[in-house]
Structure 1
């Protein structure tokens, strides 16, 4: 591993084309890469001055590369994997992230914490920038930031009347209309609103059963309205409201292998089913549909008092996810299912920051009140014999109902983070966060055999838990020159435990992570080149791993794992025409102490998994992009861009079996952009995944069905987008 990392590091550093700043402004006349100012440490800093591994993605990069969902970020940010299965957006950074339950990478929008995993893929419109911090962020962000943080920063209202209209059309009958208007109502009141409509009329996943329903398509309308009030030069209030309505069979999975012999023995009807294991194909016969409704309100008040700044961040969100699914993926109605998620979250943060030549400090308090109502309802039309009931199974008309009418989570935290500057070039960092999380769960499960009365396998009961954590951060940063700095940090992350939704009195433990990281940040060649290198090691304990047992998903803890890695990012703009950016990561992520039973191979008994690779952790991954912009003239200007992403083998299950794997793959995207003179009109022709590479985005499994289920990355897409600004 060390030899391979060194060789790759030397190769990339020599070639000098990787990127911490993913793109530059296409209208910038200078040759240096644009310097993005970030607020990742809750104060304004250049991305090159942050003592952490951070990727800042500008608005121009988002527009040039057509970033429309969180899943696109994995091909821009190093060591990042993002996949979606049944509406849950799983973000993994450096092998740490979502396995099930609460996210392991925290998502924030304008500073407001997003409590549910599916919220990470909403409302990615009219974005100013995206900041991705890699590594545990337990001090400033706290809850569920073990793997890192993704900050979406939306565009603020400006002081001039402006707007745009955007329309696009692509294959799979996909159309988009988007409009934005910005109105400076007075000198002290500004407003901005954006609305987006998107419809994919033809699904990515085709049904091989005549008359069957195609999947992975939806119609979505979303929007955001924001008003900024500035009563004085030092006092600002930001009021924002957002909504999203989505309907269609967008959530899905497809079979990845034949049922095991045991599953076929228990359910002989499976032998006569129609199967398809080809990418983007299904033989599902039961209705599939998702109805998603999301709304959010936030208020941010900032008072600047010279060296001191006071801030209040208030957020409320409501999410309703109601879906019908074919949980067998075949043309036999073994177990159609209904899933309902209703979530309400309120959060409040107060922080005080102080900045001077000697010290930068921020201290504050955080509160979260989150409520979840969840139902999982299996109505078994054909009957089904699960491994837990091998003698008689479940006759047709049976029902399995898992009900969590209330799961309340309350979090209270206080934090402080201080950076001292004892000399002009040296910075010393110290921070700590204390968190207290209480959970109150009410649940009730029952089973109905045919037309008989329900039997309560879990009578109505409540579970209570309390978790406390102290997560410190220590570090130092030294500016060797004005264009070169080094840093080293020690930090801890904590992700609370909880209760499984589908079993009585079945808790799982918190997971903890200790990180050691060092980095080098450089500006070279008259600041036309930035080169950032980071190396890290994690000690990871009680990892929360999920697996399906029977017809429900459960979380258990893996004892320990170790993660080591190296990341290289760079951006090079040698002149006003060329931009080259890329990143490379080498990751050694393995379980060091873990034993488990594979429900798909129970005959193997308890397997010792020490040395197996962590889920969604490729050993090597890289992203490379190059763009060329012509000199603006009477006919406008053209920009040509090509992006290549590569991943080595990665596993989705801890058993690392031959069917648990996505083999190495690469993706090729390209775009041609025309900007009119004056840049009022833009036409973008794009092609994504031009080689039509099929790759698994996410995987799960069921021991009762004896099979793996997968979702696929998007196939080849191409289209044209027109944007007119006024």
Structure 2
């Protein structure tokens, strides 16, 4: 693989308050390679023999960024951005049964699932960053939209995991964060994000495990795309006596709404995880000049059970591990959530 790029960016000050930023990047990628998979008579039922020279990939792309920043005062910045990006195409190198490549009677390559095309992105942002009340209040808001073409999706065919191009994916929403600090020793911070994730075109998605063919996921969300994510924290600090020691107390709460947590986009209800909230706390003691610190902490204080990840069992049928709840479907391996955890940590600075 060879990749070369050239990049330039500059600022144009239209006035004391208005700045235009222009940037551009030209990228050229070249890839080539071979794939060989051998198999014994026994393992051919699991992995088919396959040998081919990948068709060479040579592509170039110009991407750019346009940004307009307006600063009506020292404490307020209003911005608008538009940028583009891309990821080059590539090769699938995982095993497959049957062979992921098709040849004619003369041994010429006709088609292959081992190739996937490039992915392109158009991104739009509009937002404001501001401070108020002599910097006792900070508030930032960003509205965004991403249009992804040729989304490089990780698919599962019941035996193998491959990357293939979906249609188009739209990710849009807003992000808001604020910090309220009425005194030097006390602050409250909060962030909230909303995401509308929708495949605007995806007619060849992986079918549900155990079913052949594909399915249409147009109008459905991408995996790991919860509608709502929130984080809230209280931080309190103070001095301890006259010996230069200090302390810091922190409590935090994180929220995540329902989301698909499977590694494959197939809208499987078994991969839909319920939303959850996690509560944590930390108390830290600092020595003079912060030369050392000692902390006690707790994570997931309420011992909430949640599903961070769900993965299909490759070769589930061959290994006798198919799902018993939904007969005939591939087994789901679920990552265990972190339980209620208490700990102590220390730091010494030399």
Name the CA distance, whole Å, in 2 between partners of 1:455 and 1:622. 44
For residues 17-69 of structure 1, the C-alpha deviation after alignment (integer angstroms, 9 at most, x for no partner) is: xxxxxxxxxxxxxxxxxxxxxxxxxxxxxxxxxxxxxxxxxxxxxxxxxxxxx
- Aligned ranges for residues 40-189 of structure 1 at < 5 Å? none
TM-score, length of structure 1 as denominator length: 0.42
Say which of 528, 540, 550 aligns to 2:148.
540
Give SS of 1:586's match.
Answer: strand
Equivalents in 2 of 1:455, 1:713: separation in Å? Answer: 33
Q: How far 1:631 moved relative to its partner?
A: 2.8
The corresponding residue for 1:692 is 303
Cα deviation code 1:613-634 (max 9, x no counterpart): 1111000110111111123423
Q: Which blocks of at least 5 consecutive residues in structure 2 are unaligned? A: 95-99, 102-111, 317-329
- Show the counterpart of 1:720: 344
Q: Indicate the residue corresponding to 1:710 in structure 2.
A: 334
Q: CA deviation at 1:421?
A: 1.1
Q: Is 1:663 aligned to 2:255, yes or no?
A: no
Measured at CA, do residues 455 and 534 of structure 1 come closer, stay the same or move farther in structure 2, by a change above 3 Å? closer
> Equivalents in 1 of 2:72, 2:131: separation in Å?
12
Rounded Cα–Cα distance in structure 1 between residues aligned with 2:42 and 2:174: 57
Q: Which residue of 1 aligns with 2:253?
A: 644
Aligned match of 2:191: 583
Give 3-state SS (helix, strand or coil) of 2:33's partner.
strand
1:472 maps to 2:81: no
- Residues 366-425 of structure 1: CA deviation (Å, up to 9, x unaligned): xxxxxxxxxxxxxxxxxxxxxxxxxxxxxxxxxxxxxxxxxxx22100011111112111
Q: Which residue of 2 aligns with 1:411?
A: 3
Post-superposition CA distance 1:336-364 (Å, at most 9, x none) = xxxxxxxxxxxxxxxxxxxxxxxxxxxxx
The CA deviation string for residues 64-97 of structure 1, in whole angstroms up to 9 with x for no partner, is xxxxxxxxxxxxxxxxxxxxxxxxxxxxxxxxxx
Match of 1:613 among 208, 217, 221: 221
Size of the alignment, in residue pairs? 316
- Secondary structure of 1:617's match? coil
Query: Counterpart in 2 of 1:501?
Result: 93
Name the counterpart of 1:624: 232
Pairing partner for 1:515 from 119, 123, 145: 123
2:154 and 2:265 in contact (8 A); partners too: no
Shift of 1:542: 1.0
| 1:594-652 Cα deviation digits (max 9, x unpaired) | 1224151416x532211111111000110111111123423622211011100000113
Please tell me whether the aligned partners of residues 444 and 456 of structure 1 are also in contact (alpha carbons under 8 angstroms): no
| C-alpha spacing 1:462/1:562, structure 2 compared with 1 (3 Å) | closer
Aligned to 1:170: none
SS state at 2:309 partner: strand
CA distance in 2, matches of 1:468, 1:451: 40
Counterpart selection for 1:701 from 302, 306, 312: 312
- The answer to whether the 8 A contact 1:549-1:702 is kept is no
Counterpart CA distance in 2 for 1:702 and 1:680 is 49
Describe the SS at the equivalent of 1:434: strand
Separation (CA, whole Å) in 1 of partners of 2:43 and 2:137? 71
Output the CA distance in 2 between the equivalents of 1:451 and 1:621.
Answer: 45
| Cα pair distance change 1:516/1:710, threshold 3 Å | same
For residue 139 of structure 2, what is the aligned residue in structure 1? 531
- Once the two structures are superposed, the pairs formed by residues 32-431 of structure 1 within 5 Å of their partners are 409-431=1-23
- The answer to whether the 8 Å contact 2:208/2:268 transfers is no
- 1:600 maps to 209
Select the structure with the greater relative contact order (CA < 8 A; seq sep ≥ 6).
1
RMSD of aligned Cα (Å): 2.2
Structure with the higher helix share, 1 or 2: 1
TM-score by length of 2: 0.84
